[in-house]
Structure 1
Amino acid sequence: MSRKRGAEPGALPEHVGERKKACWGILTSQGRMSYIYQWLDVPWGDGDMGSWADRSPLHEAASQGRLLALRTLLAQGYHANIVTIDHVTPLHEACLSGHVACVRALINAGANVNAATIDGVTPLYNCCASGSVGCLELLLQNGAHTHTAYTHFPSALHEACKRGHSQCVESLLSHGVDPDYEVSHLGSPLYMSCLHQHTACSKILLHRGASVNLGRGADSPLHAAVRQDNADQVSVLLDYGADVNSRDSNNQRPVELAPPGGKTQQLLLTFEVSPRSLCQLCRLQIRNLLGPSRLKLLPVLPLPSLLTHYLEYT
C-alpha cells in the first residue's frame, strides 16, 4: 500500500519575488483514498505548510519493523502519536506491517490504540488487513474499541472476513464482537466472507451464532455463495439453516442463480427434494433459543458429549 507523499514544488521563477503562490499536493491515505489539498496565499518557506512535513522517521521505523531505531526516536523526543496530514500514526504503520514488537513499544510509549485516520481507519482495522493476530491481541488487551461510533466507518471484522484472516475473526469474536455487526454498504460479516469465498471465516461466524440468512439487503449469504459457485460454502450454510426459498432484490431464489449443471446447482436441487431431518431441525431450534451470547455455555450443560458435539457442529 502506497504511503508516499506529494512531490516538493519546484523553484520559483526569479520574477515572482515575494508574491504569495498556491501549491497543490496529492496524498494517498494507505492506498484507499486520495485527497487533494490546496494551500492558497501561503508564502514559500513559511512554517510546515511549505515543507510537506508528512511521514516522520518514527512512521518509517514502525513500518519497517526497526525496533531499535523506533526506541531511539522515542527516547529522543518523538511523540508516539505523531500524525501525518491524513492522521496516520506510527501505530497504524506498525499494525499494517504486522510488527508486534513495534506495536508493543508504541503502546508502552502512550500510543492511542483507537486513533483513526481521516477515513476512519484504526490500528485494529490495519491488523485485520495484514492478518496479524499478535498485533490485534495487543491492541485488544490495551483497550482498543472493536466497533466505531459511526457505522459507515471501516469495520475490522468485515476486513478480516474479506481477506480470509480466520484467526483475526476468531480473536475478535472471542473479545465480544457481534458476529452480526452490519455495515450498511457491506452487509453482514457472513455475507462478506461468502462474497469472497472464505469458508473458514464463515464456519467461525456461524459457530459463534451469526444469523445464517442475514446478508446485504435482500441478498442473503446463500445468494452470494451460489453466485461464486462455491459448493463447500453452500453446504455449510445449508447445515446452519440457510433459507433456500429466500429471494434477492431481483426476486430470484439461490437455485436460480446457480450455474447450470454445476455442483452447486445439484446440491441445491438435492436439498430441495430431501428436507432437513428432525435432528437437524432440533439442533437449529436449540441454538436459536440459546442465542449467540450463550452458545459458549453448551459444554457446561448436563448433556452427553455426543449431543454437545452435535449442537456445536464439532
Structure 2
Amino acid sequence: MPSETSEVSRKRATGPVPFPEHGPERKKTCWGILTSQGSWADRSPLHEAASQGRLLALRTLLAQVNAATIDGVTPLYNCCASGSVNCMELLLQNGAHTHTLHTHFPSALHEACKRGNSQCVDSLLSHGADPDYDVSHMGSPLYMSCINRHTACSKILLQRGASVNVGRGNDSPLHAAVRQDSTDQVLVLLDYGADINLRDSNNQRPVELAQPGGKTQQLLLEFEGSPRSLCELCRLQIRNLIGRSRLKQLSLLPLPSLLTHYLEHI
C-alpha cells in the first residue's frame, strides 16, 4: 500500500499546472497561443481552432461561422493571420463572409496581404472578395501588400483586377513600393499600368521618393524615358474594357491559349 505522503505527491503531480504570473510565458500559456490577434475575452472555440489551424476541430464548430469578437475579429480573419488555407476554405464553403458588415472592423483580405499569405489572398478572391475593398486607415489590399513588400500578393490582386492606382488617400501603391525600395513591386505595378505621375499628399511623384542613385530610382527614370509598348497598351485597355468581374471568365472564351494568357497576363 502506498504511503499517504506518496499519494499526496501523486495528486499534486497530476493536478493543473499554475500559470506563470508574469512575463512572456504567461502569454504562451493562456489559451495555448499568443494573445496578439486582438482581445481574447470573448473568443469562442471556433476562433481558437481557426487561429491554430486545427481543421478537424473546426469541422465540429461551424454553427456560427461569422461569429465576431468585440474587436470585430472573425474566424476567417484568424485563418488569414495564421495562413491556415484549408481551414479558411472550410469556413468559406460553410458561409463565411469575405468582408464584415462594418468597414472599421478588421479585414481578412488586408490581414492576408499584410502577412504575405498569398494562398489566402487567392482563395478569398476566388470566393468573391473585392480586391479593391477599402479600409479607411489601411487603404486598399494592394496598398497593404506594397507597404509590406509582398510581391506575390500584389501579383494575385492585380491579375484579379485590382485597381493599380488605388492606395490610401493620395498615396498610391507605387508610392508605397518606392518608399520600401522594392524594385520587384515597382516592376509589377508598372507592368499593370501604374501612373508614375500621381502625386501624394506632399505633392511628390514616386520618382521623387526614390533613394538617389538606387535601382528603384534608375528604373523609374528609364521608364519615364521610354513609352509603353503598343502590346502593353492594348492589353491594359482590353482588360479595362472587359471589366474586373469578367476577367475570371477569360479562359471560357473561344480564343487560342496564347491570346488568353496574354489577356490574363500570367
TM-score range, shorter chain: 0.7 to 0.9
Residues of 1 paired with 2:252 and 2:67: CA distance? 39
Alignment pair present for 1:31 and 2:19: no
Deviation larger for 235-244 or 95-104: 95-104
Aligned residues: 239
Counterpart position of 1:106: 61
The Cα offsets for residues 166-204 of structure 1, whole Å up to 9 and x where unpaired, read as: 000000000000100010100000000000000000000
Task: Give the direction of change, closer, same or farther, for the CA distance of 1:186–1:259 in structure 2 (3 Å limit).
Answer: same
Residues of 2 paired with 1:273 and 1:302: CA distance? 38
Counterpart position of 2:131: 179
Instruction: Pick the structure with more helix per residue.
Output: 2
Counterpart position of 2:51: 96
Unaligned segments of structure 2, at least 5 residues: 1-18, 22-33
Deviation larger for 86-95 or 119-128: 86-95
Residues of 2 paired with 1:214 and 1:200: CA distance? 18
Q: Which amino acid aligns with 1:253?
A: R
Unaligned segments of structure 1, at least 5 residues: 8-28, 35-83
* CA RMSD across the alignment: 2.1
Counterpart position of 1:242: 194
Counterpart position of 2:229: 277
Alignment pair present for 1:200 and 2:152: yes
Q: Which has the larger radius of gyration?
A: 1
TM-score by length of 1: 0.73
Q: Which amino acid aligns with 1:98?
A: G
Deviation at 1:33, TM superposition (A): 5.3
Residues of 2 paired with 1:241 and 1:272: CA distance? 13
**Moved >4 Å (runs of 4+):** none
SS of 2:60 mapped into structure 1: helix
Task: Give the direction of change, closer, same or farther, for the CA distance of 1:233–1:147 in structure 2 (3 Å limit).
Answer: same
Q: Which amino acid aligns with 1:188?
A: S
TM-score by length of 2: 0.86
Alignment pair present for 1:116 and 2:76: no
Deviation at 1:32, TM superposition (A): 5.0
Counterpart position of 2:220: 268
Counterpart position of 1:220: 172
Counterpart position of 1:233: 185
Out of 115, 134, 139, the residue aligned to residue 163 of structure 1 is 115
Deviation at 1:303, TM superposition (A): 2.5
Counterpart position of 1:255: 207
Out of 78, 83, 90, the residue aligned to residue 126 of structure 1 is 78
Q: Which amino acid aligns with 1:103?
A: L
Residues of 1 paired with 2:241 and 2:116: CA distance? 29
Q: Which amino acid aligns with 1:135?
A: C
Instruction: Pick the structure with more strand per residue.
Output: 1
Residues of 2 paired with 1:212 and 1:128: CA distance? 23
Residues of 2 paired with 1:198 and 1:286: CA distance? 27
